[in-house]
Homo-oligomer: A and B are copies of this chain.
Amino acid sequence: MSYQKSTFRHPKLPVNDLGFTHQAYEGPLSTLCAGCGHDSIGAAIIQSCHELSLPPHRIAKLSGIGCSSKAPTYFLDKAHGFNSVHGRMPSIVTGANMANRDLVYIGMSGDGDTSAIGLGQFSHVVRRRLNMLYIVANNGVYGLTKGQTSATADLGSKSKSGDVNLLEGIDLASLAIQLGATFVARSFSGDKQELVPLIKAALSHRGFAFIDVISPCVTFNNHVGSTKSYDYIRDHIETASVTDFIPVKEEIISTCEIGSNCRDICLHDGSTIRLQSVDESYDPQDRAAAMAAIEACKAEDKTLTGLLYIDPSAEDLHAVLNTTDKPLNGLTESVLCPGNEVLQVINNSFR
């Protein structure tokens, strides 16, 4: 729905090199909660693909299970999609990419889908250097199952049920860098200025590109000190002991600049996240430095955003496996089947 709004905001966009308008990249009306960050990410993907003039039907969108994994339903409806099972999108997209290296692969996942049940598959698709864009819509909760804390939730954050998270959150960006991702970025769903260029860069990168997008869950928000606003309603909801009332909210875009490259994001519950984006001096090609910078920022309770690491000379899995340039799914008998003559020679080796 927020998605629908977004099209109101920018009316007809110009056509791109393929002669397509913005609409050619859109999808059906979203069923996510009004104001859900995930729909903003969808809008950013639409804009990026449009601006890059990618043929919509040459894109494949894959996901696991979760609100974030439902999101692909609502963009790029000319593209085939695969809403697979929880945490297993990485293996599905690996196979898909092996079968046809010519499509553009966008994997969309959630923090639960990726950092909990999917951590093993995520780590290995990173290591495998699959040529794809992997986006995590990171809200620190399990949205679709109603607000349990996820493994990326910050230490000390509160879950809907009120208990405080006493474990450190997994930093997927650092993890990706360490496991060999060749394009790693972080951004915020409401910040199109930053997000769209990152998505475009990632889509143009050959190899594994990862973007960790902070995408607040407006319904099961679990950030520290959730105090401000709608006391009355929250009281009501809590005591009704059925969290079945979800006030309609606006997408969060409001950010207040506080010093160079640093801004606060005010969440619906009044809490804030402080984002520090990398500045000109930052060298995204130094692996160790990148990880240090992320750590340093975290130490100051800030989240580093922007392009964190890139290795432009990256190779992808096809290069590693030395597979042919033609899509494997297009090969026919003539290439695939060695024929009977060869088989008879093989028979002889078993006599």
Binding site for B on A (CB under 8 A): 116-121, 123-124, 127-129, 151, 166-168, 170-171, 174-175, 178-180, 287-288, 291-292, 295, 320
As for how many copies of this chain the complex holds, the number is 2
- In the complex, what residue of chain B is closest to A118 when comparing beta carbons? B120
The answer to whether A170 and B175 touch across the interface, beta carbons within 8 angstroms, is: no
Q: How far is the CB of A292 from chain B (nearest CB, A)?
A: 6
Contact of A320 among B167, B174, B175 (CB under 8 A): B167
Q: Which residues of B contact A129 (CB under 8 A)?
A: 167
Contact of A120 among B120, B127, B174 (CB under 8 A): B120
Contact of A295 among B151, B288, B320 (CB under 8 A): B288
- In the complex, what residue of chain B is closest to A287 when comparing beta carbons? B295
The answer to whether B120 and A167 touch across the interface, beta carbons within 8 angstroms, is: no
The answer to whether A151 and B127 touch across the interface, beta carbons within 8 angstroms, is: yes
For A120, A121, A124, A288, the residue with the greatest tally of chain B CB atoms inside 10 Å of its CB is A120
CB-defined A-B contacts under 8 Å, sample of 19: A116-B124, A117-B120, A119-B123, A119-B124, A120-B121, A123-B170, A127-B170, A128-B167, A129-B167, A166-B320, A167-B320, A168-B180, A170-B179, A171-B178, A174-B178, A175-B178, A178-B178, A288-B291, A288-B292
The answer to whether A127 and B167 touch across the interface, beta carbons within 8 angstroms, is: yes
Q: Which residues of B contact A117 (CB under 8 A)?
A: 120
In the complex the two chains form, what is the Cα distance from A117 to B120 in whole Å? 7
Q: How far is the CB of A181 from chain B (nearest CB, A)?
A: 11
Q: How far is the CB of A146 from chain B (nearest CB, A)?
A: 22
Q: Which residues of B contact A151 (CB under 8 A)?
A: 124, 127
Q: Which residues of B contact A171 (CB under 8 A)?
A: 178
Q: How far is the CB of A126 from chain B (nearest CB, A)?
A: 10
In the complex the two chains form, what is the Cα distance from A180 to B287 in whole Å? 20
Q: How far is the CB of A208 from chain B (nearest CB, A)?
A: 12
Q: Given contacts A117-B120, A288-B295, A295-B288, are A127 and B178 in contact (CB under 8 A)?
A: no
- In the complex, what residue of chain B is closest to A174 when comparing beta carbons? B178
In the complex the two chains form, what is the Cα distance from A288 to B170 in whole Å? 16
Q: Which residues of B contact A121 (CB under 8 A)?
A: 120
Q: How far is the CB of A182 from chain B (nearest CB, A)?
A: 11
Q: Which residues of B contact A128 (CB under 8 A)?
A: 167
